[in-house]
Chain A
Amino acid sequence: TTRTPQFLGLDKSADMFPESSSASDVIIGVLDTGVWPESKSFDDTGLGPVPSSWKGECEVGTNFSASNCNRKLIGARFFAKGCEAMLGPINETEESRSPRDDDGHGTHTASTAAGSVVSGASLFGYAAGTARGMATRARVAVYKVCWKGGCFSSDILAAIESAIQDNANVLSLSLGGGMADYFRDSVAIGAFSAMEKGILVSCSAGNAGPSPYSLSNVAPWITTVGAGTLDRDFPAYVALGNGLNFSGVSLYRGNALPDSPLPFVYAGNASNATNGNLCVTGTLSPEKVAGKIVLCDRGLTARVQKGSVVKSAGALGMVLSNTAANGEELVADAHLLPASAVGEKAGDAIKKYLFSEAKPTVSILFEGTKVGIQPSPVVAAFSSRGPNSITPQILKPDLIAPGVNILAGWSKAVGPTGLPVDNRRVDFNIISGTSMSCPHVSGLAALIKSVHPEWSPAAVRSALMTTAYTVYKTGAKLQDSATGKPSTPFDHGAGHVDPVAALNPGLVYDLTVDDYLGFLCALNYSASEINTLAKRKFECEAGKQYSVNDLNYPSFAVLFESGSGSGVVKHSRTVTNVGPAGTYKASVTSDAASVKISVEPEVLSLKENEKKSFIVTFSSSGSTQDRVNAFGRLEWSDGKHVVGTPISINW
């Protein structure tokens, strides 16, 4: 977050966001590993009294007292009963039975969403600058639900229960579970209740990409956030003895390597284990790696764990190579020894050298921080991908936001690698994941909410989605790090968030609780399942035609049922004009030659706050050969606003 505000255009548009009470009245609840309250990111200088609506508390526990809260960190609770019922009492010598964060993740996400401005922030000098959350004046309420043993659904529900009672306005959940129907998924169930109270719930999409159908948190009342890169990198070049040079990344800072090249060895050739190339604990032969630099392949264990294994075997450095699973995406880590992470292609070339050279040597050259890297953003390879496995007619993820190499606050209870052997302590850490992109959107949603307090969670999400961008300034399509090719709505949803444009979206696709209940009817949920999810006795009308295609969602996921290549699918939508009166014209682009897309009516004239409906008809005439995923985009424009919605089509 020393870069994301500039990357998102927040620095140039500070005057568009209120500095006054409306911004500081918004409360972001973060369900995570707790908080390190002493972090400067929770300094409350300049903030007024706690909003009168707030009913939360600062709970007392291990190393945590009520005085740890202030006008920035206005609430801190912990929920351990579910974890303890499953795994036994929290071992208080290992983790705090309190809101205190012993992990770092919760401090990172909370400070990303709403951290105060901290100048002079960096990790060992990397990414140096002024760190700040997306909504610097919003208040933070922390709900600790994740423990060393995991994050349990009974604790998560208890936290959502409290957050609703406490009057939080936005909930940020950088966690997920398996894929379950909405009425069996506690996050989806709790989020429904929160949404009903006007709380926007933002969740991470998951890090199971680039495999398709890998998303979590796909309920339509949740804002599902994927991850993209920034225009910042931390280059560390790998210079081989044969003169070839490869780009890698690193956050290492410490004792430098000797100036002269060092002997270089492939981990797979320095181990008796079949998976020795992965540098798993206990698999490297010290006599074969001591004093050398070791090349390890990614997989099975954490990246930083491999560095620790290599170091403890007596090696001086590490080159960590991506495999096909990660492609060319470079994720930087604060390794315990000099190390550089390289992409698959570079890794393959380096291995070729290692296997062909009798006495291979290598140097690693650390270059610090570079900004202005293009293209950016690029969809992170790890970011989970659609289609939506629960309801394919709802396109997910909703959008992407920065989630690669993000600097934000950290816990002083743990080092930047999170490893027990890491005794270093830092104020800020740089980590990656959709966990990091989610709180960006949570904070941006809080900003939108502060400007438009009357907007529903669906309207706020719609504004963020319909103004998201899918092309670079050059006009080229956003890229996917996993393939190096253009990304699709299954990867980036509506596109990359553009918060300044989201303040003034022109039109929004709004949704009410009744709309979601109709959606549950369209899914043929039983009365009991609807009651479980929505806490009410609701009978779907027997004669009424419910259609998932009619949920007023700001995207279109068109599903032609199997059986024939041809067919007609209609989606109806209603837009609300949240800008001045205007006439909007529809335009559709698509890469599906065999699908005709028509919009009726093609022109909508709307007064201020007026709602108007339209129908999009998708007619497929394709043969079976054409049955592959296809994508497009519908835009409504009045010449000033562009209200974009992604289209995915599959058979």
Chain B
Amino acid sequence: AQAAQPERGTYIVHVAKSEMPQSFEHHTLWYESSLKSVSDSAEMIYTYDNAIHGYATRLTAEEARLLESQSGILAVLPEMRYELH
């Protein structure tokens, strides 16, 4: 029997870019590395550099919690829905 998969949601991951370890040549490589450390399957939906420093991805709540505890991660905020006025 297949175990129920934990539900994934979209999160916006805010990163302290200035804390990027020198071993990374580009910030996107650092983002990918930190994402891989909490999830084998999660992919980046967007990477941002002007509006925020960070990226959007799909995670389980547990993965989001783990990611948020990592060094250099400022916040992992759930996707919000806005409405036209």
Contacts and interface: CB of A to CB of B under 8 A. Distances in A.
Interface string A149-174: 01111101110110011000000001
Interface of B: 10, 12, 14, 16-18, 45-46, 48-53, 56, 58, 74-75, 77, 79-85
Interface in A55-91: 81-82, 85-86
Nearest to A535: B53
Contacts of A183: 75
Contact of A206 (B16, B18, B53, B85): B85
Given A532-B14, A535-B17, A187 B75 contact: no
B53 A154 contact: no
B3 to A, nearest CB: 23
A33 B85 CA distance: 12
Contacts of B14: 531-532
B16 A186 contact: no
Given A161-B51, A537-B18, A153 B79 contact: yes
Given A176-B83, A189-B52, 6 more contacts: A150-B83, A152-B81, A154-B79, A157-B56, A180-B80, A536-B18
A184 B52 CA distance: 12
A254 interface: no
Interface residues of A, number: 52
Nearest to B77: A184
A151 B14 CA distance: 20
A153 B14 CA distance: 13
Nearest to A158: B46
Contacts of B50: 160-161, 164-165, 193, 197
Nearest to B78: A153
A359 to B, nearest CB: 43
A248 interface: no
A457 to B, nearest CB: 16
A152 B16 contact: no
Nearest to A187: B82
Contact of A174 (B51, B79, B84): B84
Contacts of B53: 535
B83 to A, nearest CB: 6
Name the residue among B80, B82, B83 with the largest chain A CB count within 10 angstroms.
B82
Contacts of B48: 157-158, 161
B81 to A, nearest CB: 4
B82 A152 contact: yes
Interface in A548-568: none
Contacts of A81: 45-46, 56
4 closest A-B pairs (Cβ-Cβ)? A154-B56, A204-B85, A435-B85, A164-B50
Nearest to A194: B51
A157 B46 contact: yes
A189 B52 CA distance: 7
A157 B52 contact: yes
Nearest to A216: B85
A284 B17 CA distance: 60
A146 interface: yes
